[in-house]
Amino acid sequence: MKHLDEYRQAHLVQGILEDLRRRVTRPWVIMEICGGQTHSIVRHGLDQLLPEAIELVHGPGCPVCVTSLELIDKAQAIAARPEVIFASYGDMLRVPGSGRDLFAVRAAGGDVRVVYSPLDAVRLAQENPGRQVVFFAIGFETTAPANVMSVLQARALGLRNYSVLVSHVCVPPAMHAILGSPHNRVQGFLAAGHVCTVMGYHEYEPIAARYGVPIVVTGFEPLDLVQGIRLTVEQLESGRAEVENAYARAVTREGNAAAQQVIGQVFEICDRNWRGIGRIPASGWRLRPEYAEFDAEQRFEVQALRSEESPLCIAGQILQGLRRPADCRAFGGPCTPEHPLGATMVSSEGACAAYYRYGRSA
C-alpha cells in the first residue's frame, strides 16, 4: 500500500543504519514520545539494530499508561452503576485501578462495552434512551477532535443520556516536565507524527530553543523511525537544537486548523494528574462550562477518590526515561518483551508501564 510498504523496505532501513554508525561519535539518549512508535520500534527490532551509542527511551505518550489511577477508579465507579452503559476502547479494560479493572467490573455485572469510535457510543445512546451512556474519552491531541465531535453530535441530536469521562492530556507540557527535571537524561526527541498532524509542530519550537534539544517529527514505519533518529543524531553531533519535520507527507507546521478550532470550542486547558508522574500544570483538557451537561463526573457526582500509587511501581520513572522496563522488580523482574511482568500482575499493585508500553509490543 502507498505510504506503507515503501516505508518498510529493509535495504533502505539498513542503509540509514549504516550511515548512523558512521556519524555517531558519542553516546546519545533519545526519547520517542509516542506509544505507537514504541510498538513499532520493538516489533521491528529497531532498538536492537541501532549503534550501541544510541539509547532509545520510551516517553509518556501512551494514554493507557498515563491515565491517572484516580480516573481509572472513577471510571470503574461509574461503570458499576446499573443505569450506565460504559463505553471504552478495549485497551483500557485491562488497566488496573486501586483494586480491580473494567473487566472485573463487567464480570460483576457492569455493562461495559468496547467501541471503536466515540461516535459508536453516541449511537448506543440513541439506541438505548432509557440508559445513561458514558464514553471514556482518553488520549492525547490525536483523539481529541473525534471526542469533541461526539459531544457536538450528542447536543445536536438532543441526547440527554450521553456523557464523557474526560482524561485528555497534551504532549508539550509533559516534555517541559521531563526536560525541567534535575534528573533529566533526554538529549533529543522523536515527536509523534499523528499528534503533530492535528496540532502542528510550531509549539515545539520554543521547547527546542529553551532546553537546547533537537525535536524531530517522525512517523511510525521503520524507515520513518530510523530517519527520525538519524536527523536527531545529526543535530546532536553538530550541536544544533531545532525542530525538523521528517513526516511531511502528513504534518505541516501549523497543523489542522479546523480540528484545533473544534477542540477549543468544546475543551479548555486544565491541570492533569499523570499516572506515575504526578500533576503537570496546564497539561490536560476538560469540558468547558457550557458543555457541563455532558461531563460524566458532574452528572454522576463522582467524588474525588484517595487513590494512591503503589511504591513498588516504577512506571513514572520509565516514562520519564530515568529507568528501563527491565529494571522493574515489583513482580520478580526483570520485565522483557518476551516475558512481560504486566501479563501476570496483581491489580492492586498498580499499572505496569513495562507491560503497557513495552512488553505487549512483543
Give pLDDT tens digits for 207-238. 999 999 999 999 999 999 999 999 999 999 99
1-310, CATH topology level: Rossmann fold (3.40.50)
* Phi, psi of 225, rounded to the nearest 5 degrees: -70, -45
Give dist(CA 210, CA 50) in Å, integer: 28
Residue ranges of domains in the chain: 1-310, 315-361
Could you give the 3-state DSSP secondary structure of residue 295? strand
Closest CA to 122 of 94, 93, 85, 91: 85
Question: How many residues does this entry show for the chain?
Answer: 362
Closest CA to 55 of 24, 15, 13, 101: 24
Give pLDDT tens digits for 68-121. 889 999 999 999 999 999 999 998 998 888 888 999 999 999 999 999 999 999
Q: Whole-model pTM?
A: 0.88
pLDDT number for residue 51 = 94
Whether 178 contacts 211, CB under 8 Å: no
The ranges of the chain with pLDDT < 70 are 1-3, 304-310, 329-362
pLDDT number for residue 62 = 85
Give dist(CA 195, CA 57) in Å, integer: 19
Look up residue 79 and give its three cell numbers: 461503570
Could you give the 3-state DSSP secondary structure of residue 128? coil
